[in-house]
A and B are shown apart, each in its own frame.
Chain A
Amino acid sequence: EVQLVQSGAEVKKSGESLKISCKGSGYSFTNYWIGWVRQMPGKGLEWMGIIYPGDSDTRYSPSFQGQVTMSADKSISTAYLQWSSLKASDTAMYYCARLLGAAPAYYFDYWGQGTLVTVSS
């Protein structure tokens, strides 16, 4: 069974750093792109970027380029999303999801349960 399990909720202060994780199981982790999606309170879904764990090739949404860093450790089937200096506006639920389909028209077939990040000023 394909599963993506994300790390737990985080409460941080502005200016702090953070790294959240997404561990895949039940499939060949290195052979599928992993995407990150943000949902701010009361808002819709926003695509942040994708990473290919096999070679760590990464594509960022222009809206998130330079704001976050995506990485992956294929030895432990885990993808990461990190911030070097959080802002209050980073408060949101963050989802990881596996991509499937024919490039570039991928869709997200399996999703993690989400990681709630709360940043206080």
Chain B
Amino acid sequence: QSVLTQPPSVSGAPGQRVTISCTGSFSNIGAGFGLHWYQHLPGTAPKLLIYDNTLRPSGVPDRFSGSKSGTSASLAITGLQAEDEADYYCQSYDSSLSAYVFGTGTKVTVL
């Protein structure tokens, strides 16, 4: 049972904007630990999309953006494209568990 909660699925038409929430607590997101996002197409290696709440690694399109407030964070995808259809996971560190934790995962469907 993950300590980071995400909606199971979100969907949008091509070109639209979708957001994925990640809700944690005061021992992870709320403690100030960085919140990171990954894109995962089943059968392939997960890909780092956002690190330290808002930063994009080189090569990640600026259509992807992250934000954080209190004990929650969000990933926004603007200008949704067919290739964005994948599973998305948030990840942080939890000081109560002394463990790295992943969110429950969100499947993004492009209609």
Contact = CB atoms under 8 A, between A and B. Distances in A.
A97 B95 CA distance: 21
Interface residues of B, number: 30
Interface of A: 35, 37, 44-47, 50, 59, 61-62, 95, 97, 100-102, 104-114
Nearest to B57: A109
A44 B105 contact: yes
Contact of B99 (A61, A105, A114): A61
Interface stretch (B14-22, B31-39, B70-78): B31-39
Contacts, number: 71
Contacts of B91: 45, 107-108
B68 interface: no
Interface of B: 2, 33-34, 36, 38, 40, 43-48, 51-52, 57, 87, 89, 91-93, 95, 97-105
Contacts of A104: 33, 93, 95, 98
Contacts of A50: 100
B31 to A, nearest CB: 9
